Chain A
């Protein structure tokens, strides 16, 4: 006596293919063929993209002119207030206005991005593919004032299912990090750094679990920082993100919750913070290559209200 055969399908079910074919087969995990993980510094990129847009106060105008598909120039004007970090709870705002000229050269193997401001500060980024798997990145901020310039060299090696990075910075900063895919969805990484001039060193660990619909990350460092984040992709157009950060040294706890709507003509990001900060950032596409930007940040606790508007022309 075998098991009874299933009843014949009725109605529409007889036309559609049988359900067994639709169900995803339980794939046996091939631990030798895991995907390459994201770079260590981008482990929280989805949460950062949704929760930390570039909020600004004042007027911002960016014009990018492409001369050919590799080379473009950019002109950027900013007029508004910039916040200076201050020890007390009061916010210190300085009115600034600057013009920034930039040049970009984008080659598959070499990327050069330079931005120079009216006060002589230069922001330079270089990314060079030395071989198929080894990439060198240079990040520098050079100023006219002595001892204020900063630079960082990064050497990235991309393996089959791991990535390793070595960093050298000014002020005798040395850092290294390594991230490995452990399962098709989970990757674990760690980093160490050494600050020569202050004789400080630190170690940190990170984990990232991602599926098609969600990304969860956790980071803990010996500097006393614990950071967790969770991003859920609710639909093609909507993502919700949340973030938790605890600083053991300053006993600072911050948690934020935000949304990211990517619609056809606009992108709207908003967030709510445990520090009493509500922020929103809207990028509206008015025309081909013309974007209108609105930025708002309301800090209820410090009574600090920042509103900005701007336009971006060009790609």
Chain B
């Protein structure tokens, strides 16, 4: 009888230990998920946005204001030919010539 009681006690202790283990692991996972969400949410939105069509230019991420007509022209040139450096230089050169 004593052995039956002791085996029952061990069984319940084992179950509560497993429950505590699960709770500890889930708390650890929630803490890590919270840190990941805290640091990664805004970068995730920016990555998704930069990959959406029409693809925006990385320059647009900065605080740039299109206050004058001239700046709009040079900005459009740069965004149109993001991959083509020569055309960008040409646009900037034309812009400077117009200003002179």
**B-contacting residues of A (Cβ < 8 Å)?**
65, 67-68, 70-73, 75, 101, 103-105, 107, 112-114, 116, 122, 124, 140, 142, 144, 149
| CB pair B52 A71 closer than 8 Å | yes
Residues of B47-83 at the interface with A, using a CB-CB cut-off of 8 Å, are 48-50, 52-56, 60-61, 63
A105 to B46 alpha-carbon distance, docked (Å): 8
List, in ascending order, chain B residues with CB within 8 A of A101's CB. 42
Residues of A within 8 A of B28 (CB): none
Least CB separation from A143: chain B residue: B38
Do B37 and A68 have beta carbons less than 8 Å apart?
no
Is the beta-carbon distance between A116 and B37 smaller than 8 angstroms? no
Of all chain A residues, which has the CB nearest B38?
Answer: A142
- Say whether B45 faces chain A, with CB atoms less than 8 Å apart: yes
Cross-chain contact B56 with A67 (CB below 8 angstroms): yes
Q: In the complex, what residue of chain A is closest to B58 when comparing beta carbons?
A: A67
Say yes or no: B42 contacts A67, CB within 8 Å. no
A114 & B42 in contact (Cβ 8 Å cutoff): yes
B83 to chain A, nearest CB (A): 18
Q: List 14 A-B contacts (CB under 8 A).
A: A65-B60, A65-B63, A67-B60, A68-B52, A71-B48, A73-B61, A103-B42, A103-B45, A105-B48, A105-B49, A112-B41, A112-B45, A122-B41, A124-B41
Q: How far is the CA of A104 from the CA of B52 in the complex (A)?
A: 12
CB pair B37 A112 closer than 8 Å: no
> What residues make up the interface of B, taking CB atoms closer than 8 Å to A?
34, 37-38, 41-42, 44-46, 48-50, 52-56, 60-61, 63
- 20 more contacts with CB within 8 A, not counting A67-B56, A113-B45, are A65-B60, A65-B63, A70-B49, A70-B52, A71-B52, A103-B45, A103-B49, A105-B49, A105-B52, A112-B44, A112-B45, A114-B41, A116-B42, A122-B37, A122-B38, A122-B42, A142-B34, A142-B37, A142-B38, A149-B34
- Chain A residue at smallest Cβ distance from B50: A71
Q: Which residue of A lies closest to B51 (CB)?
A: A71
Shortest distance from the beta carbon of A180 to any chain B beta carbon, whole Å = 35
Would A140 and B37 count as touching, CB distance under 8 A?
yes
Q: Is the CB of B56 within 8 A of A68?
A: yes
A-side contacts of B50, CB under 8 Å: 71
A68 to B52, CA, bound (A): 8
- Closest chain B CB from A170 CB (angstroms): 9
Q: Contacting A68 at CB < 8 Å: which of B42, B44, B46, B54?
A: B54
A67 to B41, CA, bound (A): 18
CA A144 to CA B60, docked complex, whole Å: 29
Given A101-B42, A116-B42 in contact, is the A71-B34 Cβ separation under 8 Å?
no
Question: When the two chains form the complex, which single residue of A70, A75, A105, A124 contacts B37, counting CB atoms closer than 8 Å?
Answer: A124
B64 to chain A, nearest CB (A): 8
Contacts of B45 in A (CB 8 A): 71, 103-105, 112-114
Docked CA distance A140–B30 (Å)? 13
Q: How far is the CB of B61 from chain A (nearest CB, A)?
A: 7
Name the CB-closest residue of A to B39: A122
- Give the chain B neighbours of A105 by CB distance below 8 A: 45, 48-49, 52
CA distance A113 to B45 in the complex (A): 8
Residues of B within 8 A of A65 (CB): 60, 63
